[in-house]
Amino acid sequence: MKKSMFFVIHWAEAKRYSDALKQLEIDYTIETPDDIPSLAPGELAFVFPSLPIRLYAKLRTLFSQDAKQY
């Protein structure tokens, strides 16, 4: 997967987002502060490839934020 964008969340919320993404059938990976040094301890990043605008809009709604460029 060519990484394009990511959303930062607190690790305690990871299961909720993971379950929602499985229902939406959107591929992703999860990265830690070891992978993305700008993350604070206790944060995770849900990382995505480039997506059609319709899917990106669903992600924006789910995460309640804009994605950061990878």
Per-residue pLDDT tens digits for 10-49? 999 999 999 999 999 999 999 999 999 999 999 999 999 9
pLDDT at residue 32, as a whole number = 97
Q: How many whole angstroms separate alpha carbon 40 and alpha carbon 52?
A: 29
Query: Could you tell me which of 10, 57, 54 has the C-alpha nearest to residue 46?
Result: 10
Stated pTM of the model: 0.93
Task: Give the full edge-to-edge strand order of the sheet including 5-10.
Answer: 29-31, 43-48, 5-10, 68-69
pLDDT at residue 47, as a whole number = 98
| CA–centroid distance for 13 within its chain | 11
